[in-house]
Amino acid sequence: MFLPTTPAELKKLNWDKLDVILVTGDAYIDSPFIGVSVISRVLTNAGFRVGIIAQPDWQSDTDICRLGEPELFWGISGGCMDSMVANYTATKKKRHEDDLTAGGRNNRRPDRACVVYANLIRQYFKETKPLILGGVEASLRRIAHYDFWSDSIRRSILFDARADVLVYGMAEKAILELARKLRDGQDIKDIGGICYISPTPPHDYIELPAYEKVVTDKKSFSRMFNTFYQNNDPLTGQGLFQQHGPRYLVQNQPQPQLTNEELDNIYALDFVRGVHPSYLAQGKVKAMETIKFSITTHRGCYGECNFCSIGLHEGRTVISRSEKSIIDEVQKLAVLPDFKGYILDVGGSTANMYGIECLKKHTNGACKDQRCLYPRVCSSLKPDHSRQINLLKNLRKINGVKKVFVASGIRYDLLEADKKHCTSYMQELVKHHISGQLKVAPEHAAPGVLKLMGKPQARSLLNFRQIFEKTNHSSGQKQFLTYYFIAAHPGCTEENMRELKSFASRELKTNPRQVQIFTPLPSTYSALMYFTETDPFSGKKIFVEKKMDRKQRQKDIVMEKIN
């Protein structure tokens, strides 16, 4: 059953009031793939009464006042994506389509959605309950950050939104603790995984360079980001604070990560796995077509590609669900009336990280001075794909399942490092889990650009390609690899793009079709490079393409539109 979105739906439940109202920039989809939905189910499961206001009209009181005022707090999320990423292309053109809006037209999500929704609530509810920001937009903009769309350093989103608290990262634990403490009238300032604004700096927290300093001094901005990044680990991260004018943004240390059992429990919650029926007349929510019959096997990523924000948001420690939990979920999907026998994806941010994690990380946290995969796979990681192989074999046996696809990306350096299971894993994929093509994301081929991206060198891709082709051949299949590339990443020149084009045609025998222009996402190392025009790891100056037409030109070089 969906959670209430109207007074009539509240009445049906015999609820006179709501404890929590969640406001989101996406259509209301009840699925474990949607953050707001997960939070709503976690809170409901703990006994809180939760209502949803999805994509409210931000120019009137019609939607935002619909459910009245909550007893405990308002939860505000821009949706599954940062609203600026959702609304604009990498060359800052307006996007016309939105896969998370019914009917697909991009007209229901304001720019800077968290700020707009928070101000909307304040406009109509003067002395209201606390406003709590969460989701990826809030999480990645929680301290001073480079904002590509205004080409400026913006202050913490908490100040712009005039909200009370920001819950960062994957917020199940923090939000539950917050709801309980607010209900019990307790102080919430000590909750892990939250940020708030304070008139005074806290004791024993690390001070980040002030907002006013990082706006004018790129070295201070770089120092700020490094300290921020290093203190994101649930075991070793310390509290931080940053002065903004006369006040302080305080970031408490991260919440402990979920255990495997806790993650299993979340996936066992009572999701409807559908789009709220009120959208029927407006058309389909396209994202639902992919997520409805897909399975998340794990959370987190230790790939640390510098342009990606997943490691910062979900954590660098991979937590995997148990095989039983995943099988239970597939069995639930297999009996749905519209299930046609196909599981469209079994994976996570990187499919083959399932069940593979460093034992040291579980006790000491992620290393601060080295990365798990870059520049080479760390000897402590000891990749072992046997658990994934078993999982895939068992999923294929479930009644009603015709085919299980692995559509999430494969980290080929990780696979290559598993000498024992590399071939057998590839055989499983090629024989049973891809539909003609396997997607891989080398992102580039020029060594200097790959280094700045934190991606494995081209040699690793070629080794993987060789294994793929051999397996294809021996199993009598005619499948192929599809490659994803990025143009105009910091450090990338037109010459580098010509290098990539020639590599693709010479070594991969392909003309790339999947090329996207780099977008500097808030709170990523690549955004830091873009803003400072400096390699943050060596301190050396780098070329950064900032002109939109030249970025497009970089893409066109690889797409063969120009030489």
Q: Which residues bind ligand SF4 (CB under 6 A)?
A: 358, 360-361, 366-367, 370-372, 378, 380-381
Cβ within 8 Å of residue 380, ≥6 positions away: 358, 359, 360
Is the Cα torsion angle 395, 300, 43, 104 positive or negative in sign?
negative
Tell me the closest approach of the beta carbon of residue 360 to ligand SF4, in angstroms.
5
Query: Closest approach of Cβ 24 to ligand SF4, in Å?
Result: 34
Measured CA to CA, the distance from residue 492 to residue 360 in angstroms comes to 35
Q: Which two tokens stand for residue 2?
A: 């969906």
Q: Considering the complex, what minimum distance in angstroms separates the CB of residue 208 from ligand SF4?
A: 24
Task: Give whichever of 194 and 378 is closer to ligand SF4, judged by the CB atom.
Answer: 378
Q: DSSP labels for 227-286?
A: HHHHT--TTT---EEEEETTEEEEEPPPPPPPPHHHHHHHHTS----EE-GGGGGG---H
Query: Which DSSP helix (H) or strand (E) runs through 226?
Result: helix 218-230
Work out whether strand 247-251 and strand 240-244 pair parallel, antiparallel, or are unpaired. Answer: antiparallel
Q: Which residue, 235 or 401, has its beta carbon nearer to ligand SF4?
A: 235
**Within 10 A of 384 (CB to CB), how many other CB atoms are there?**
14
Q: Closest approach of Cβ 517 to ligand SF4, in Å?
A: 31
Name which of 7 and 375 has its Cβ closer to ligand SF4.
Answer: 375
Nearer to ligand SF4, 165 or 381 (CB): 381
**In Å, how far are 458, 483, 484 from 504, measured between CA atoms?**
10, 9, 11
Closer residue to ligand SF4 in complex, CB, 30/357: 357
Both tokens of 430, joined, read 């090629």
Which CB atom, from 358 or from 426, has the smaller least distance to ligand SF4?
358
CB of 377 to ligand SF4, least distance (A): 8
Name which of 321 and 361 has its Cβ closer to ligand SF4: 361
**Per the structure block, which two tokens stand in for 498?**
């010509």
> Count of CB atoms within 10 A of residue 94's CB?
9
Q: Which is nearer to ligand SF4, 258 or 372 (CB)?
A: 372
Alpha-carbon gap, residue 444 to 306, rounded angstroms:
13
Within 339-427, strands assigned E span 342-343, 345-347, 403-404
Shortest separation between residue 298's beta carbon and ligand SF4, angstroms: 16
Residue 301 C-beta: closest distance to ligand SF4, Å: 12
CB of 187 to ligand SF4, least distance (A): 34
